[in-house]
């Protein structure tokens, strides 16, 4: 079947690298919906936004590390993609520091042959060492007031450890995923019909890493979940951010069975991107 993919790209830096990224996606099969962090100057990204298969998302948010903003951006983008009227079968959520390590035409072929599979990295939060603590305590990550941490401590002294949102089992691990149009519609309906869930998730730690994962695994869509988010990401023990790949990692990246990798930083190393472009043509 003919397959069209909507890329939701969340970016906060690197206009040249972002332009390079969007140009790796064949126009006939992909359209990129780009969210620029509210701190960015849109004029710096004119080269990206002038690409014919790129649309700038109209609502720009200032994202805060570990806050709810990323989830809000993805929900905004999902609504915008559906309202576009284009027939997208898959929606892929990625950062501006992702980059292909396989031909994006091969990814379209994979998605076409496995539709309606859902591609998520998921784990039971109870079995994830730091998972339970992310929702047991109360967080004010989106608040930018002085004394926020002290206020959190005061609140957590006054309240008991929290259980997860009633009726749901928490699943999480990665904020990056590729899902079907069917799941997107279900997800938006779920959020509309259960406003208490996003309200609860606004007070957890790093909700983007288990908001959508939890919804998909507590629905009939769980039967179609492939526990693979199609991305090659390497963490070192004790580190909260993934490794930034360089030219030294090219062989590792090419040996991966994933289609995308993160993260890359052109300010650190552009040669790795040059090599990937050469090898995956």
Give residue 2's pLDDT. Answer: 66
Residue 80 scores a pLDDT above 90: yes
Residue 1 scores a pLDDT above 60: no
Sign of torsion, CA 252 20 242 208?
Answer: negative
Buried b (16+ CB within 10 A) or exposed e, 229-252: bbbbbbeeeeeeebebbeeebbee
Residue 149 scores a pLDDT above 90: no
pLDDT digits (tens, 9 = 90+) for 189-223: 999 999 999 999 999 999 999 999 999 999 999 99
CA 72/CA 217 separation, integer angstroms: 20
- Label residue 131 by pLDDT band (50, 70, 90): confident
Give the residue-averaged pLDDT of 133-161.
89
Query: CA dihedral in degrees (17, 18, 20, 25; nearest 10)?
Result: 150
Minimum mean pLDDT range among 88-102, 142-156, 167-181, 253-267: 142-156
Q: What is the pTM of this model?
A: 0.95
Give residue 233's pLDDT. Answer: 96
User: Which of 63-67, 137-141, 249-253 has the largest mean confidence?
Assistant: 249-253
Give residue 126's pLDDT. Answer: 82
Residue 13 scores a pLDDT above 60: yes
Give residue 187's pLDDT. Answer: 98
- Label residue 46 by pLDDT band (50, 70, 90): very high
Query: CA dihedral in degrees (281, 11, 256, 233; nearest 10)?
Result: 170
Give residue 156's pLDDT. Answer: 87
Token duo for residue 235: 């963490």
Higher-confidence residue of 31 and 145: namely 31
CA 278/CA 91 separation, integer angstroms: 27
Residue 225 scores a pLDDT above 70: yes
Give the residue-averaged pLDDT of 77-104.
97
Mean pLDDT of the chain: 94
Residue 129 scores a pLDDT above 80: no
Token duo for residue 37: 């962090």
Could you tell me the CA-to-CA distances from 227 to 104, 108, 177 in Å, in that order? 20, 18, 10
pLDDT digits (tens, 9 = 90+) for 103-128: 999 999 999 999 999 999 999 988 87
Domain spanning 5-119+174-201+221-276, CATH class:
alpha beta
């Amino acid at each position: 079947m003919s397959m069209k993919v909507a890329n939701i790209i969340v970016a906060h830096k690197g206009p040249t690298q972002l332009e390079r990224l969007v140009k790796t996606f064949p126009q006939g099969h992909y359209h990129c919906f780009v969210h620029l962090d509210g701190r960015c100057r849109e004029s710096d990204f004119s080269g990206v936004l002038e690409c014919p298969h790129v649309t700038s998302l109209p609502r720009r948010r200032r994202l805060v590390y570990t806050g709810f903003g990323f989830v809000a951006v993805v929900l905004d983008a999902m609504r915008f993609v559906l309202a576009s009227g284009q027939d997208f079968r898959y929606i892929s959520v990625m950062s501006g520091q992702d980059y292909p390590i396989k031909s994006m035409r091969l990814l379209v072929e994979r998605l076409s042959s496995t539709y309606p599979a859902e591609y998520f990295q998921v784990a039971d939060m109870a079995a994830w060492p730091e998972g339970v603590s992310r929702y047991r305590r109360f967080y004010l990550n989106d608040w930018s007031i002085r004394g926020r941490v002290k206020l959190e401590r005061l609140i957590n002294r006054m309240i008991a450890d929290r259980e997860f949102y009633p009726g749901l089992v928490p699943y999480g691990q990665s904020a990056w995923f590729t899902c079907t149009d069917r799941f997107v519609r279900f997800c938006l309906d779920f959020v509309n019909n259960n406003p208490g869930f996003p309200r609860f998730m606004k007070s957890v730690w790093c909700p983007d890493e288990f908001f959508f994962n939890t919804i998909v695994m507590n629905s009939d869509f769980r039967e179609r979940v492939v526990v693979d988010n199609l991305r090659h990401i390497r963490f070192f023990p004790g580190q909260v951010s993934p490794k930034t790949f360089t030219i030294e990692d090219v062989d590792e990246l090419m040996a991966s069975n994933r289609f995308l990798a993160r993260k890359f930083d052109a300010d650190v190393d552009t040669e790795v991107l040059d090599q990937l472009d050469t090898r995956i043509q």
